[in-house]
């Protein structure tokens, strides 16, 4: 019997139209280890949603299920009204990190241009693609680094390049896995500004450990610790966080809502 | 080197010109494909493919000499087995990761064992060493045409698919999300590696050809800021190594394959030393 209580999500707002991302009774396990249990939630067009939860709780797994990189054991996942495999080319994805070879000599521009790639990309890329990639780099404040080796950048700059790569895909949905994991405060502020500018056009789904980032960035939170619960950020109470993380989490109210955590768990 | 240049122009020394031309023709696909092999860190897969090629060479020699099928060229047998080995190794490395090393090792030694058995059963004396370490006397005018054709095919495929290959080498998961068939592109790279290896088998042999596939791109990678610069420098280095290796072999009456590889290895060591000093 599921200890998620069967119904794992709440409808936070009423929405019209088809959801952009739809999970229906999804369970997934790595071998015998159940990682996501009976997840049942929708994300609608233009929404900005953050996925939070402890390490190993299933946050990144949820993103990979959305992208069709993993197949659910039970249930169905729909992305943009179709299967993830058919629709994922319309999604911009920023991984938490990439296992790239630092001796692999690709320039920043080369990496961003990978966002323009399709199954039918043959020969050299077009001038339009290069212009689009330069625009995205400009947007991320990295236009001057276009010809620099990707390996020569700092962690935060690499993250910004991967976001630019996701942006040039002309995506309808942007999935970001830990976008502030390797960035300093200044870079995080720039990223926040860029995400705020993007929010007008895009559906944004962000995985984050950073509760401060969540509290001031998004109105809706998907809490994952094997079970999945969806709340408006304003309803993210100390009790709910204690239930999610398994230790005390103190909320501190500033000008904007801000969450502070104890018990060794990091925050912004 | 003066005698070497004279010998190249000597009408009776056609074998030397064939060896040089084959080396120069092979340098281009070797440098180009080798760049991706080094960048993707699949040199050991390329070595397994190269060694399994002996099965194809032995099979082709047997068909030609024992069965009388004169149209079967050793490079044809080598190409077929190399492509089969590439497909099998690609499938194993993508689908059966737990046993990857063991299966790749099995393909490596099985190909060699089958080749040696075929050669042992082939009428007349055939020295397996000539195929393992190269023999410039094996190079014929027909080899140049075949190598040229295969080289153009390799560069053509690389030209058409290079963006997808670069993306898969850099971040296969993201390429998959963009709609690229990452697995197929990876196997395509292995197939290109297989055909590239076959081109220079007669000149430097199946054991030594891996050095020309990997050392020049590894040297080029030391200071390269882009993949294209690495690729062009690797091609240029291959041409230099073939030319000076052949010249050294002629001047000192040494086997050609090991001479070419020793020149490449020496430059690799010196370049790494300089890179360490300059902290490139």
Question: Nearest Cβ partner of B171 from A98, A123, A147?
Answer: A98
**CA closest to B184 among chain A residues:** A119
Place of tokens 């590894």: B218
- CB-based contact B166 A88, cutoff 8 Å: no
What was the ipTM of the complex prediction?
0.80
What angle separates helix B100-121 from helix B43-65, to the nearest 10 degrees? 20
Close Cβ partners of A142 (under 8 Å, ≥ 6 residues apart): A108, A157, A160, A161, A164
Q: Which residue has the higher pLDDT, B240 or A50?
A: B240
Shortest alpha-carbon distance between residue A25 and chain B (Å): 24
Chain B CB contacts of A124 under 8 Å are 163
- CB-based contact B39 A104, cutoff 8 Å: yes
Chain A CB contacts of B230 under 8 Å are 105
Question: Nearest Cβ partner of A114 from B167, B221, B229?
Answer: B167
pLDDT attached to residue B36: 93
Task: Please give the average per-residue pLDDT across A83-90, as a whole number.
Answer: 92
Of B37, B81, B55, nearest in space to B220 by CA:
B37
Cβ–Cβ < 8 Å for A163, A179: yes
Please state, in angstroms and rounded to a whole number, the distance separating the CA atoms of residues A57 and A244. Answer: 9
Distance (Å) of CA B155 to CA A236, B103, B150, B162:
58, 30, 9, 10
The predicted-structure confidence for B6-42, as pLDDT tens digits, reads as follows: 888 888 888 899 999 999 999 999 999 999 999 888 8
Question: Nearest Cβ partner of B160 from A107, A119, A123?
Answer: A123
Chain B CB contacts of A111 under 8 Å are 170
pLDDT, mean over chain B: 90
Residue A203 parent element (H or E): strand A203-207
**CA closest to A85 among chain B residues:** B177
- Do β-strands A173-177 and A48-52 pair in parallel, antiparallel, or remain unpaired? unpaired
CA-angle at A209, arms to A153 and A264, nearest 5°: 105
The predicted-structure confidence for B220-264, as pLDDT tens digits, reads as follows: 988 787 888 899 999 999 999 999 999 999 999 999 889 999 999
Residue A225 DSSP SS3: strand
The predicted-structure confidence for A119-171, as pLDDT tens digits, reads as follows: 888 888 889 999 999 998 988 888 899 999 898 888 888 888 998 899 888 88
- Do β-strands A21-30 and A33-43 pair in parallel, antiparallel, or remain unpaired? antiparallel
The predicted-structure confidence for B75-106, as pLDDT tens digits, reads as follows: 899 999 999 999 998 888 887 766 778 888 99
Chain A CB contacts of B158 under 8 Å are none
Place of tokens 């720039």: A190
The residues pairing with A224 across neighbouring beta strands, listed in sequence order, are A228
Chain B CB contacts of A148 under 8 Å are 225
The predicted-structure confidence for A203-233, as pLDDT tens digits, reads as follows: 889 888 776 666 666 678 888 888 888 877 6
Chain A CB contacts of B169 under 8 Å are 104
Please state, in angstroms and rounded to a whole number, the distance separating the CA atoms of residues A115 and B139. Answer: 46
Shortest alpha-carbon distance between residue B272 and chain A (Å): 14
Shortest alpha-carbon distance between residue B73 and chain A (Å): 33
Question: Nearest Cβ partner of A100 from B159, B170, B224?
Answer: B170
Of B92, B118, B117, B120, nearest in space to B104 by CA:
B92
Chain B CB contacts of A103 under 8 Å are 39, 221
Shortest alpha-carbon distance between residue A107 and chain B (Å): 6
């Amino acid at each position: 019997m599921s200890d998620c209580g069967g119904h794992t999500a709440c409808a936070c707002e009423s929405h019209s139209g088809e959801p952009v991302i739809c999970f229906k009774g999804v369970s997934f396990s790595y071998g015998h280890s159940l990682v996501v249990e009976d997840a049942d939630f929708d994300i609608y067009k233009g929404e900005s949603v953050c996925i939070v939860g402890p390490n190993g709780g299933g946050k990144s797994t949820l993103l990979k299920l959305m992208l069709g990189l993993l197949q659910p054991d039970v249930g169905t996942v729909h992305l943009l009204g179709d299967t993830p495999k058919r629709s994922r080319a319309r999604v911009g994805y920023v991984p938490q990190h990439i296992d790239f070879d630092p001796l692999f000599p690709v320039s920043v521009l080369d990496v961003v241009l990978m966002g323009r790639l399709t199954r039918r990309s043959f020969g050299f890329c077009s001038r339009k693609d290069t212009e689009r990639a330069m625009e995205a780099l400009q947007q991320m404040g990295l236009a001057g680094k276009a010809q620099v080796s990707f390996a020569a950048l700092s962690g935060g700059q690499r993250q910004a390049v991967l976001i630019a790569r996701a942006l040039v895909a002309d995506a309808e949905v942007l999935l970001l896995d830990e976008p502030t994991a390797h960035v300093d405060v200044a870079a995080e502020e720039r990223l926040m500004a860029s995400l705020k500018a993007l929010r007008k056009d895009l559906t944004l789904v962000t995985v984050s450990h950073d509760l401060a980032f969540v509290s001031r960035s998004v109105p809706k939170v998907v809490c994952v610790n094997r079970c999945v619960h969806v709340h408006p950020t304003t309803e993210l109470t100390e009790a709910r966080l204690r239930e999610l993380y398994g230790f005390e989490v103190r909320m501190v109210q500033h000008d904007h809502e801000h969450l502070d955590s104890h018990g060794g768990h990091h925050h912004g | 080197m003066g005698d070497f240049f004279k010998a190249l122009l000597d009408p009776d020394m056609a074998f030397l010109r064939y060896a040089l031309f084959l080396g120069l023709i092979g340098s281009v696909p070797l440098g180009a494909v080798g760049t991706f092999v080094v960048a993707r860190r699949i040199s050991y897969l390329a070595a397994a493919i190269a060694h399994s090629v002996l099965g194809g060479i032995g099979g082709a020699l047997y068909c030609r000499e024992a069965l009388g099928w004169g149209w079967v060229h050793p490079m044809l047998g080598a190409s077929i087995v190399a492509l089969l080995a590439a497909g099998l190794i690609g499938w194993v490395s993508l689908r059966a990761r737990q046993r990857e090393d063991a299966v790749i090792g099995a393909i490596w030694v099985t190909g060699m064992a089958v080749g040696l058995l075929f050669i042992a059963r082939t009428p007349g004396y055939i020295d397996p060493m000539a195929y393992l370490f190269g023999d410039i006397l094996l190079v014929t005018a027909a080899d140049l045409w075949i190598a040229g054709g295969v080289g153009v095919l390799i560069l053509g495929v690389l030209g058409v698919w290079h963006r997808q290959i670069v993306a898969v080498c850099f971040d296969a998961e993201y390429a998959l999300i963009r709609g690229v068939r990452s697995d197929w592109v990876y196997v395509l790279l292995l197939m290109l590696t297989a055909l590239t290896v076959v081109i220079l088998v007669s000149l430097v042999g199946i054991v030594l050809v891996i050095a020309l596939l990997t050392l020049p791109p590894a040297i080029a990678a030391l200071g390269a800021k882009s993949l294209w610069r690495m690729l062009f420098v690797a091609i240029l280095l291959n041409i230099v190594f073939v030319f000076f290796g052949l010249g050294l072999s002629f001047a000192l009456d040494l086997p050609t394959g090991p001479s070419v590889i020793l020149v490449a290895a020496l430059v690799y060591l010196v370049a790494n030393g300089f890179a360490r000093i300059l902290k490139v």
